[in-house]
Amino acid sequence: MLPVAISIFSAGIALVALMVSYRLGSRSARASERSAEAAEASRAISQRQLENSVRAQEAALQPYVWADVRPRDDGQILTLVVGNSGPTVATAVRVIIDPPLEQIVPERMKQRARRVDERLAAGFGSIAPHRTFSWGLGVAHEFFQGSDGPPVPELTITVVGEGPSGPLEAVEYTVALEDLRQQSARAVGVALLEPVLKKIAGSVERHARAAEAQSRRDAEPTELE
């Protein structure tokens, strides 16, 4: 009887050991699977970070081309300005303005505005970094018929072009000219010196003419008595 009991006990121990081994093996397998999944997720995150870093570097090297309608520094003339604020040269740049400038400028400026529209439609072969182009559109007060006048149309501006890393993402935005109606017309920057410089230039010119006249008189022969 004792040998049978020992055999049963040994078999029970072996079965328990087998069950423990199986459970530990299952846990180990699941742990290995989780480790593999974590490694794959880490690899995917690293790949995305690398791709984002490359895209960020490429974007940082792309041109940033824009267009705006703004008062000139003297505050009197509205101008269209196109520029590149990025670090590299922009090429094949086109600026589309809707409605065309010809439809919003004062009557006397329509022919000039038509030429500007044509120039924008033809595009720019290249715009160097920090380069700007500007065109006068007319005296600011001619756009706004008093503080209670009819609203000035909004302009939808679309800018497209190419950079060293390929085509630029098309940018579209609205310029609300009505926002300029009550803007101060005071001169800023170098324009503050323009009246003074004109006075100085006029004074220098008058003195130069006087000196030239005096020089001619001194060069004339005198009559001998």
Q: Which has the higher per-residue pLDDT, 35 or 15?
A: 35
Q: pTM for this one? A: 0.58
Looking at 92-193, list the stretches that DSSP marks H as alpha helix, in order from N- to C-terminal side.
110-122
- Confidence band of 177 (pLDDT split at 50, 70, 90): confident
Nearest CA-CA partner of 76 in 164, 136, 118: 136
pLDDT digits over 57-86, tens only?
666 789 999 999 998 887 788 999 999 999
Mean pLDDT of the chain: 77
Measured CA to CA, the distance from residue 155 to residue 8 in angstroms comes to: 94
Residue 99 has what pLDDT?
Answer: 92
Quick one: which H or E segment has residue 132? strand 132-139
Residue 225 has what pLDDT?
Answer: 45
Q: Name the percent of the chain lying above pLDDT 70.
A: 63
Inform me whether the pLDDT recorded for 194 exceeds 70: no
The answer to whether 116 and 149 have CB atoms below 8 angstroms apart is: no
Lowest mean pLDDT, pick from 34-38, 89-93, 174-178? 34-38
The answer to whether 140 and 76 have CB atoms below 8 angstroms apart is: yes
The answer to whether 104 and 138 have CB atoms below 8 angstroms apart is: no
Measured CA to CA, the distance from residue 136 to residue 116 in angstroms comes to: 10
Give the alpha-carbon dihedral of 175, 95, 70, 114, to 10 degrees: -110
What are the distances in angstroms from CA 179 to CA 71, 109, 142, 153?
A: 12, 21, 15, 11
Residue 192 has what pLDDT?
Answer: 44
